[in-house]
Amino acid sequence: MDLRILGIDPGLATVGFGVVDTAKNAMKLVSCGVISTPAHTSLSSRLDRIFSDMNELIQTFNPDVISVEELFFNTNITTGIAVSHARGVILLSAYRSGVPVYEYTPLQVKQAVAGYGRAEKRQVIDMVKRLLRLPAAPKPDDAADAVALAVCHARCSTSLLAGKEGNDVCSTI
């Protein structure tokens, strides 16, 4: 194994995670799933659950890097703020564990995984399935998105641009 990547798709109700091992030009799915927080509980309680479960994921899988989706605010700013809180807790967990974090926009993930920055969700999930030679796509969608984030980092970290300090290794240009 050259690199173990923990992909994280942030959310408040559901945080997707995917663990991918890379070796030379091969990738293998180790595990994927979701962290769920109960509805109708306080924000603080939900963030505590995410932080605790993130720490457990990091301890269990011992990733070399964590790939996290950057937030994209579309129309619902209230949902975006809640997800921002969860994302902050995820980043804090990674920081405290000493695991480097790489952040990718949805456009960058689509470009790296499907080869097209405007690919539809189903196309990205299908490419994840193909690239990892899986019999079926990861479920639920939040877990599939997290696996796509891990694949994105795996593909971008092997880019010729990756050796240049300070460059965005997953540029969509």
Q: Is 56 a catalytic residue?
A: no
Catalytic: 70? no
Place of tokens 């996290």: 68
Active site residue 9: yes
Q: Which of 53, 69, 103, 145 is catalytic?
A: 69
Provide the b/e sequence for 116-132 (b: ≥16 CB within 10 Å): eeebeeeebbbbbbebb
- Residues 122 and 165: their CA atoms lie apart, in Å, by 34
Q: Which of 21, 103, 142, 145 is catalytic?
A: 142
Crossing angle for the helix pair 77-97 and 43-61, to the nearest 10 degrees: 40
Tokens at 37, concatenated:
């927080």
In the set 9, 21, 53, 103, the catalytic residue is: 9
C-alpha–C-alpha distance, residues 46 and 24, integer Å:
38
Active site residues: 9, 69, 142
